[in-house]
Amino acid sequence: MAISLVVSETRAGSQIADVLAGTANTGIDFGQSTNGAYAPLVDQGTNDGAKNVHIRHNAVVDPITDFKTYIQTFSGSYGGADTAANDFATLKAKGNASSSSDANNDDGLGSGLHVDMDWDVDLATQFAPSRIFTGGGPGDHVAVYGDANTDGIDLASAVLVKADAMYYDNGATQIAPTVPVLGKIGISTDAVLGNACHLRYRFLLEQIASVGGILQFDIVWAYAFTA
């Protein structure tokens, strides 16, 4: 049988279905960012604000493996400010240009779509540039789509989801799995690998950005499974 994912904003939540611009589009809405900030934004001073994305699957025998992520051209009915192709090019360029030294983009040099792959990261540390591993960065938990013009922009360059993104949902809360593994999510009863994944997303907008409007793109989560 085919194995499918549930992508929600909370532990054990329902499928994300935000209403998006365009005709009959649903998905993830990051909200609006101002120059030199990010979205979603709660409080920039304390580095608060992220789109929480929880992912689980319906396999009943084996875990899903080779679980990875990348971006692609928006596949829905385009409702942005330019074209779907240009939005994709813009997002890649922003990821490559991102160079903030601050987790909260206080210097205004951060840009593009960032993902933090540690479900239990603290508020002050989330999205810290020192934790970026794409583009030859020194870190181990944060990826920037489009970094070095190569990372996470197609299936061939997809980024494997880190083991620290995996957690075990015990029916009441998120707890650390016993032995999480890079790119694997276990079945619903698997407390060793974990049975879900928690990613934090943030879209950063550079201080010098001069063109506004709605930007649309696809985030893809790819995986292998045994039927």
pLDDT, position 39? 98
Is residue 119 a contact partner of residue 169, using CB atoms and an 8 Å limit? no
Indicate the helix (H) or strand (E) that contains 37: strand 37-39
Cis bond before residue 40 (omega within 30° of 0):
yes
Confidence of residue 42 (pLDDT cuts 50, 70, 90): very high
159-215 per-position pLDDT tens digit: 999 999 999 999 999 999 999 999 999 999 999 999 999 999 999 999 999 999 999
Digit-coded pLDDT (tens) for 107-127? 999 999 999 999 999 999 999
Domain count, the chain: 1
Q: Which domain holds residue 122?
A: 5-224
Tell me how far apart the alpha carbons of residues 84 and 220 are, in angstroms, rounded to a whole number.
15
Question: In this predicted structure, what is the pLDDT of residue 38?
Answer: 98
Q: Look at the alpha carbons of 14, 179, 170, 190 in this order and tell me if their dihedral is positive or negative.
A: positive
State the pTM of this model: 0.97
Residue 2 pLDDT? 87
**Token output for 162:** 């880190």
Residue 116, beta-bridge partner list: 142, 200
H/E stretch holding 7 reads strand 5-8
Q: Over the stretch 61-110, which tens digit does the pLDDT of each residue have?
A: 999 999 999 999 999 999 999 999 999 999 999 999 999 999 999 999 99
